[in-house]
């Protein structure tokens, strides 16, 4: 077999793999909600002071379960920080997460108030759900464009 034929065959396999990924890359609503719950948990975690690190254990476990769920559903886990336009979605999301987390820390430790932390967690849940849906749309769009 010539190297040109081998290269064409390899490109055809890549194309077929991407087409298959586009077909299965649609996240069910529960997946978006699971991501949002984990992010909201991060924002609310200061409210568990002085046991904040213990409060992170269910979040880490949840993250592992979401990764396993994705691997079962897709055959792989797709890192949200991957190259491409999805990174722009993350670049817009992370400052929001950090700002809400910082505000939560402020209210719990400086003002000794827990309820604002819970409210900020609710806001984060809504933002994270929306950003998860946007990330998925951008990801699928990138895959479809590469076909």
The answer to whether residues 48 and 54 touch, using CB atoms and an 8 Å cutoff, is yes
Backbone conformation region of residue 21, classed left if phi is above 0, alpha if psi is from -120 to 50, else beta: alpha
12-53 residue pLDDT tens: 788 777 777 666 678 899 999 999 999 999 999 999 999 988
Query: pTM score, two decimals?
Result: 0.84
pLDDT digits (tens, 9 = 90+) for 86-121: 999 999 999 999 999 999 999 999 999 999 999 999
| C-alpha closest to that of 32 among 102, 131, 137 | 131
Task: Give, as one character, the DSSP assignment of residue 26.
Answer: P
What is the Cα–Cα distance from 74 to 81, expressed in whole angstroms?
17
Terminal Cα-to-Cα distance of the chain (whole angstroms) = 25
């Amino acid at each position: 077999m010539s190297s040109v034929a081998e290269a064409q065959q390899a490109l055809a396999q890549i194309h077929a793999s991407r087409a298959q990924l586009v077909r299965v890359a649609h996240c069910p609503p529960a997946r978006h909600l699971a991501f949002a719950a984990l992010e909201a948990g991060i924002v609310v975690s200061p409210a568990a002071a002085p046991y904040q690190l213990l409060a992170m254990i269910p979040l880490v476990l949840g993250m592992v379960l979401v990764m396993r769920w994705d691997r079962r559903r897709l055959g792989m886990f797709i890192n949200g920080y991957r190259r491409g336009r999805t990174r722009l979605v993350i670049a817009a999301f992370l400052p929001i997460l950090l700002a809400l987390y910082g505000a939560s820390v402020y209210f719990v430790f400086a003002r000794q108030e827990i309820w604002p932390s819970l409210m900020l967690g609710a806001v984060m849940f809504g933002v994270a759900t929306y950003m998860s849906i946007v990330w998925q749309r951008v990801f699928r769009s990138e895959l479809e464009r590469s076909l």
